[in-house]
Amino acid sequence: MALSQLWTLVINALFSSSDVSPTSSPPTTPTTSTRTVSPSSTAVEPGSFILPDLVSHCTFPLIYHSNGDAVAKHSLDWMLSFVAHFTPRKMAASRGLLAGELTAFCYNNCSSERLRVVSDFMNFLFHLDNISDGMMARDTKGLSDWVMNAFEWPDSFRPLPGQKGDIEEISAAKLARDFWSRCIVDCPPAVQQRFKSSMNMFFQAVHQQASDRANGIIPELESYIDVRRDTGGCKPVFDLIEYTHGFALPDEVVDHPTIVALNEGANDLVTWSNDIFSYNVEQARGDTHNMICIFMALEGATQQEAVDRVGNLCKQTIDAFVENQTRLPSWGEEIDKMVDLYVFGLQEWIVGALHWSFQTQRYFGVDGEEVKRTRVVRMLPLENSA
């Protein structure tokens, strides 16, 4: 059975019954679930919900790059230099985002020079996410064409087919080209190809998300999971783990079931926990591309029940990741060192993104530390109901 099919069966089992027994797997089979955690029994205040305690469940040490703050500042200045049209509100949001600080948590063991390149991409990726959120499907296709054209021609701008030669390149494409022209200088060709493929899948998924939004479609769980693994942007940032250390994993390693399971587990944890942390902001603007919305709309769960379900799945995904770390085969000393660095990078994404989610102002404003301590999120009013 393919790994994706096995994972689908596990997900179906998790949410078809309230009593799920721990699973055991043979030593050669990647783990997809190890235990079930009961929902929080904390009383829910009116107009609020309780976050699952994912921070305590994740026991990986939190590490920050020694030059992280300086790199983050320079990277943010770089991004803002391309968007002179930003309003003061957008400028403040960019500064409160702390994209460079997230990068310093997740890539804490590479050179400052390569951290800067990845930090620039992180700022760019959040910029893409922001401008694509309100787009119609046809607009996301246009954005994709601009950006992928920049990745294809990193040295200088070349108009797209049908465009006039004197057309002005959009800022997103300029950002992409500036980042990519520096990245490819010492990025292995195989990693470059994987990165561009991941970005192409990202844009296809964003296009699907925009289409669903325009048509009022809330997808079924299985199709949502497939799309979410791309809209979250984890695939290209995981590709950059290899870049930060200057190696390219062989194809037989990339395609190994345990590596695939670790990669998908880290992706799922980062994106599903993000569904929990971003839910309040998203529900206020009517965005339903969120697993919590799926459980509420399609399975009749209450808001707190839906939050608890996603939280339980996140906790089981962390457990499965830890178990799969012990099941890595050996490919020889040289490749094993690469694998260790890559898997460590996935691990740092799990713990780094969890803690950063309470530091950034993107989800909880200036109340992140209080929310992290109390786990109480007070609902925001709908934006069109003021």
Task: Pick the more confident residue, 312 or 213.
Answer: 312
How crowded is the C-beta side of 259, counted as CA atoms within 13 Å?
20
Task: Check pLDDT > 80 for residue 373.
Answer: yes
In angstroms, rounded to a whole number, what is the distance separating the alpha carbons of residues 346 and 364?
A: 25
Give the model's confidence band at 16: pLDDT under 50 very low, under 70 low, under 90 confident, else very high: very low
User: Which pTM was predicted?
Assistant: 0.89
Give the model's confidence band at 30: pLDDT under 50 very low, under 70 low, under 90 confident, else very high: low
Q: CB 199: neighbour CB atoms within 10 A?
A: 24
For the chain, domain boundaries: 64-363
Task: Check pLDDT > 50 for residue 40.
Answer: no
Backbone angles phi and psi of 4, in degrees to 5? -65, -35
When pLDDT is averaged across residues 55-68 and rounded to a whole number, the result is: 98
Task: Pick the more confident residue, 33 or 79.
Answer: 79
Residue 14 confidence (pLDDT): 43
When pLDDT is averaged across residues 254-267 and rounded to a whole number, the result is: 98
Instruction: Using alpha carbons, list the distances in angstroms from residue 79 to 39, 97, 121, 174, 352.
Output: 41, 12, 9, 10, 22
Residue 32 confidence (pLDDT): 52
pLDDT tens figures, 68-116: 999 999 999 999 999 988 999 999 999 999 999 999 999 999 999 999 9
Beta strands in the chain (DSSP E): 48-50, 376-378
Beta strands in 239-364 (DSSP E): none
Give the model's confidence band at 140: pLDDT under 50 very low, under 70 low, under 90 confident, else very high: confident
The topology (CATH level 3) of 64-363 is Farnesyl Diphosphate Synthase (1.10.600)
